[in-house]
């Protein structure tokens, strides 16, 4: 028996991987059934990104010297472009799907499965993020790289960004799962999702880079977990930090929010299960 086969059979990580792979595979198969969706998403993302990018470039066109927040125009263009792409990667529709299962009563079937429901939802949402990255985000970034001057990251910036973007996926999943679990209380979370999308986009730095916000508003944003979704990864990519200690602090903050939101989601799930048992008798 090879070492790889032994790892696959015995290690807890391998056992967990095998248990949740079917959820990821089913989600991927569901995505591939509607391939025209990729084209629609790409066109929609290209248009939305174009509006944001050209608006910000028009605001600061002709300005001499550096821009507010220490950015130059290529860096600001890169920030605005990639902020929209990060938001796209985190849009795994977990909140909508969880609330839908609750509303339809399908959640009762999920409770019978011998798996962790939050982990199963994460496994199902991960292919959505990866497919969005491969079919939409990368082509859109390459297109705008041909049209506009962007800021090329260093190797260190690219590696830090990849690590930070991975943590932002976990944070985004935690936020979306908590919103989806609100369906156990409100039944319909349409209004909650609208508020969540607006608040998250603003305080994450997706609409306005945090460095361009007024001081008190930026201070509030830095206290919330949402800045770890967009602003943190892009500061690392563009090198907007003072030394390795601050870069490590950004990653540590993200890791802390990822662990905290995961724990909070686990507690919320336990409370939701008790509510189902009480209502179900």
Which pLDDT does position 142 carry in this prediction?
Answer: 92
Instruction: Dig out the tokens for 217 from the structure.
Output: 């508003």
Which pLDDT does position 272 carry in this prediction?
Answer: 83
Which pLDDT does position 279 carry in this prediction?
Answer: 56
Please, what is the end-to-end C-alpha distance for the chain in angstroms? 50
Confidence of residue 277 (pLDDT cuts 50, 70, 90): low
Which pLDDT does position 193 carry in this prediction?
Answer: 87
Cα Rg, the chain, nearest whole Å: 20
pTM of the predicted structure, to 2 decimals: 0.86
Q: Each residue of 13-62: pLDDT tens digit?
A: 676 777 888 888 888 888 777 777 778 888 888 888 888 888 888 888 77
Q: What is the CA angle 31-33-36, rounded to 5?
A: 85
Confidence of residue 7 (pLDDT cuts 50, 70, 90): low
Q: What is the CA angle 217-258-97, rounded to 5?
A: 95
Instruction: Dig out the tokens for 197 from the structure.
Output: 């999308």
Which pLDDT does position 278 carry in this prediction?
Answer: 56
Q: Each residue of 76-133: pLDDT tens digit?
A: 899 999 998 898 888 777 888 888 888 888 887 777 778 888 888 888 888 888 888 8
Give the Cα separation of 85 and 264 in Å (integer): 27
| H helices present in 33-150, as ranges | 36-60, 73-89, 94-104, 107-112, 117-132, 138-147
Give the Cα separation of 43 and 48 in Å (integer): 9
Which pLDDT does position 274 carry in this prediction?
Answer: 79
Which pLDDT does position 236 carry in this prediction?
Answer: 94
Q: Residues, the chain, total?
A: 281
Q: Each residue of 169-201: pLDDT tens digit?
A: 999 999 999 998 888 888 778 888 889 889 999
**Average pLDDT for 150-176:** 92
Concatenated DSSP letters for 136-184?
IIHHHHHHHHHHS--PPPPHHHHHHHHHHHHHHHHHHHHHHHHHHHTHH
């Amino acid at each position: 028996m090879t070492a790889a086969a032994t790892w696959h059979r015995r290690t807890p990580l391998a056992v967990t991987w095998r248990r949740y792979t079917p959820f990821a595979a089913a989600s991927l198969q569901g995505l591939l059934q509607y391939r025209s969706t990729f084209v629609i998403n790409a066109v929609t993302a290209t248009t939305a990104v174009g509006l944001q990018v050209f608006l910000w470039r028009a605001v600061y066109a002709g300005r001499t010297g550096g821009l507010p927040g220490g950015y130059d125009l290529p860096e600001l263009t890169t920030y605005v472009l990639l902020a929209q792409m990060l938001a796209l990667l985190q849009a795994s529709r977990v909140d909508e799907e969880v609330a839908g299962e609750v509303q339809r009563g399908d959640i009762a079937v999920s409770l019978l499965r011998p798996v962790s429901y939050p982990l199963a939802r994460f496994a199902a949402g991960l292919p959505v993020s990866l497919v969005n990255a491969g079919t939409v985000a990368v082509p859109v970034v390459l297109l705008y790289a041909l049209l506009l001057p962007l800021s090329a990251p260093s190797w260190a910036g690219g590696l830090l960004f990849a690590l930070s973007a991975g943590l932002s996926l976990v944070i985004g999943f935690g936020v979306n799962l908590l919103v989806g679990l609100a369906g156990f209380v409100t039944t319909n979370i349409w209004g909650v999702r609208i508020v969540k999308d607006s608040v998250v986009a603003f305080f994450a730095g997706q609409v306005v880079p945090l460095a361009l916000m007024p001081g008190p508003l930026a201070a509030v944003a830095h206290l919330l977990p949402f800045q770890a979704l967009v602003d943190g990864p892009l500061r690392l990519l563009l090198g907007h930090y003072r030394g390795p200690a601050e870069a490590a602090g950004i990653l540590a903050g993200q890791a802390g929010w990822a662990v905290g939101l995961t724990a909070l989601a686990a507690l919320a799930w336990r409370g939701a299960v008790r509510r189902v048992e009480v209502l179900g008798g």
